[in-house]
Amino acid sequence: MNVRLKFLGAAQSVTGSKYLLEFFDHTKILVDCGLFQGQKELRLRNWDRLPLDPSTLELVLITHAHIDHIGYLPRLVKEGFRGKIYCTDATADLMQIMLKDAAKLQEEEAQFAFKKGYSKHSKPEPLFTEKDAERVFPLIERVTLKKTVSLAKGVQVRFLNAGHILGSALLEITVNTHQHAKKIVFSGDLGRYNDPIMNHPHELEEADILLVESTYGDRLNPIDQVEADLITIVQDTLARSGVIIIPAFAVGRTQTLIYHFHELMQKRLIPELPIYIDSPMAIDVTDLYERHHDHHKINVEHRDGRLLSIFDTSNIHFCHTPQQSKALNEIKQSAIIISASGMATGGRILHHLYHRMRNESDTVLLAGFQAEGSRGRRLQDGEPVIKIFGEEVPVRCQVRTLHGLSAHADQGELMKWLSNFKESPKLTFITHGEPASAGVLANKIEAMGWKVIIPEYLESFELFSGL
């Protein structure tokens, strides 16, 4: 009786997380089901059929609700998957917001490409629609953190706090036979030890097989420098009477930025500027932070029948409608605009960049990891012209990068988390990292005497045999 693992994504890349586990009785389980993002060659994989029949999958386990971990679910269901999708309660709520928004963006982008005629296809089609996304939701099974859940005969899972975003989890899968009990651990995306909002990742002491992410496996991101850098960026932009435009992920990054700006304004280290949250998804997600207040450190008060927090202060303005979003283009006084997506791959942020990148007084602040091929990475790399809506837009604004704000553990934190294992796993796979970062982390782990593999896309391994 054997257990096999196949890498359908996040192999030498930071997107498209999909891991296929095949157990001895032919039970097939998919861990995460994400979209590829960034480089075109990666994005094209989203249109390829999976190397398996989705109807043969028993179930899907989801670590957290970022699109690179859940975005392929509508396609999976469309292609025949009918099993259960297990995730934490907060992830289930986030998933519904994220997938609806992703579907809407897919449809809008296809329509816009058709209207403007910049697609190579005569009739551009979305990868999935809102109806496709809605077919996912009845399949969701909510799981409590730390509770053991039976998945199949002899196979159990525990969801444990990963500290990455609201509801995020690492997975401890136990395979039981009459003679053996083997543990397979998926780190998911690990959070930080000193994050101002999220609790630090749950620490484990044993695993036979370990999959660990490596997004920042090659660098350190000091978290204590964030507010000092924000002060400098705000002051520099104010001196030019400019506007700060921040592409930010709707989940986690937007809320962390609000927290830091609130703290700095409360301490009078920066002026009390208006902050515009221009992302319907980020607005909905922020409400979830108040509803799932047991998942984070932010103080939430019950007042007059409402849940209130730092997200409810008077200088924070939520832009719900397209009209409110468009009005931000007319702002002349200094302000902060936070809009999705975090790598400037789509959404309302593209309209703000289209109008603001031409202005020498304005600042585009990149507040997180920018994958290769994304507009955010091209801005970060100093390209003088960025294509938006099929038009070459000159970059005359200031472009700054805020380090230390990532929701991913850096190299030191990854090694700290790994140091809790009492014995080295039989095998450790380095996933969810670009080749350079995966390679550096692999070397660090090998120095501890561990056996390490950096898998390739679609590569398969026999984890256990003869159980």
Kindly state whether residues 211 and 321 are assigned to the same domain: no
Q: Which helix (H) or strand (E) holds 22?
A: strand 18-22
Owning domain of residue 18: 3-219+407-464
Nearest to 123, CA basis, from 110, 108, 132: 110
φ and ψ at residue 320, rounded to 5 degrees: -85, -40
d(CA 167, CA 162): 8
pLDDT value at position 293? 80
| Mean pLDDT estimate for the chain | 92
For residue 307, is pLDDT > 50?
A: no
pLDDT value at position 355? 95
Pairing of strands 59-61, 181-186: unpaired
Domain boundary among 346, 376, 401: 401
Kindly state whether residues 348 and 446 are assigned to the same domain: no
Kindly state whether residues 199 and 246 are assigned to the same domain: no
> Tens of pLDDT along 92-110?
999 999 999 889 888 887 7
Kindly state whether residues 212 and 241 are assigned to the same domain: no
Amino acid at residue number 52: L
Kindly state whether residues 27 and 59 are assigned to the same domain: yes
Band of pLDDT at residue 142, cut at 50, 70 and 90: very high
Band of pLDDT at residue 448, cut at 50, 70 and 90: very high
pLDDT value at position 187? 98
Domain boundary among 401, 423, 442: 401
Nearest to 350, CA basis, from 330, 321, 379, 314: 379
Contact indicator for 170, 160 with CB cutoff of 8 Å: yes
Kindly state whether residues 310 and 381 are assigned to the same domain: yes
- Interval 411-435 mean pLDDT: 97
% of the chain with per-residue pLDDT over 70: 95
Domain boundary among 401, 423, 443: 401
d(CA 448, CA 127): 43
- Interval 169-195 mean pLDDT: 93
Q: What is the CA radius of gyration of the chain?
A: 22
What's the token pair of residue 47?
Answer: 């249109």
Kindly state whether residues 392 and 308 are assigned to the same domain: yes
d(CA 228, CA 82): 50
d(CA 6, CA 9): 9
Contact indicator for 409, 190 with CB cutoff of 8 Å: yes
Cα angle value 338/336/324 (rounded, 5°): 65
- Interval 205-227 mean pLDDT: 94
- Give the DSSP letter string of 51-87: SS-GGG--EEE-S---HHHHTTHHHHHHTT--SEEEE
Q: Is the model more confident about 166 or about 369? A: 166
Q: What is the CATH number of the domain that holds 308?
A: 3.40.50.10890
CB burial of 175-190 (b: ≥16 within 10 Å; e: otherwise) equals beeeeeebbbbbbbbb
Nearest to 355, CA basis, from 328, 374, 384: 328
pLDDT value at position 372? 79
Kindly state whether residues 179 and 282 are assigned to the same domain: no
For residue 115, is pLDDT > 70?
A: no
pLDDT value at position 47? 92
Q: Is the model more confident about 177 or about 265? A: 265
Q: Is the model more confident about 295 or about 330? A: 330
Band of pLDDT at residue 342, cut at 50, 70 and 90: confident
> Tens of pLDDT along 47-95?
999 999 999 999 999 999 999 999 999 999 999 999 999 999 999 999 9
pLDDT value at position 108? 80
Kindly state whether residues 397 and 449 are assigned to the same domain: no
Kindly state whether residues 165 and 231 are assigned to the same domain: no
> Tens of pLDDT along 225-277?
899 999 999 999 999 999 999 999 888 889 999 989 998 999 999 999 999 99
For residue 45, is pLDDT > 60?
A: yes
Band of pLDDT at residue 180, cut at 50, 70 and 90: confident
Amino acid at residue number 426: K
For residue 43, is pLDDT > 60?
A: yes
pTM of the model: 0.87
The residue written with tokens 């700006």 in the block is: 261
- Interval 354-383 mean pLDDT: 92
What's the token pair of residue 297?
Answer: 């450190």
Number of separate domains in the chain: 2
Choice among 29-33, 277-281, 295-299 with the minimum mean pLDDT: 295-299
d(CA 272, CA 333): 13
Q: What is the CATH number of the domain that holds 33?
A: 3.60.15.10
% of the chain with per-residue pLDDT over 90: 74
Nearest to 338, CA basis, from 236, 263, 244: 244
pLDDT value at position 117? 58
Kindly state whether residues 160 and 129 are assigned to the same domain: yes
